[in-house]
Amino acid sequence: IVYASVMQHLLQNSGSANCFLNRNSRDFDNPDIVEALNALNCKMIPRFDDGYRYIQTQSM
């Protein structure tokens, strides 16, 4: 459900850089999932502190 919701959002709101923050890397750090997210300009980030830094760099 989480992955489907993220993909739906990305498909409806394409164009800008996005990130998917999720600490559950066992379920989401999969090459097929990462590739699908990348194709929609979305970076999968498994650590919230790394995600925070990523968001800060995108805001400049």
Domain spans of the chain, in order of start: 2-58
Q: For 16-20, 36-40, 48-52, which range has the lowest pLDDT when averaged over its residues?
A: 16-20
Cα separation, 30 vs 5, in Å, equals 17
Q: What is the pLDDT of residue 60?
A: 61
Please count the residues of the chain. Answer: 60
User: Global pTM?
Assistant: 0.81
Cα separation, 42 vs 20, in Å, equals 7
Contacts of 15 (CB under 8 A, 6+ apart): 41
pLDDT average, residue stretch 18-27: 89
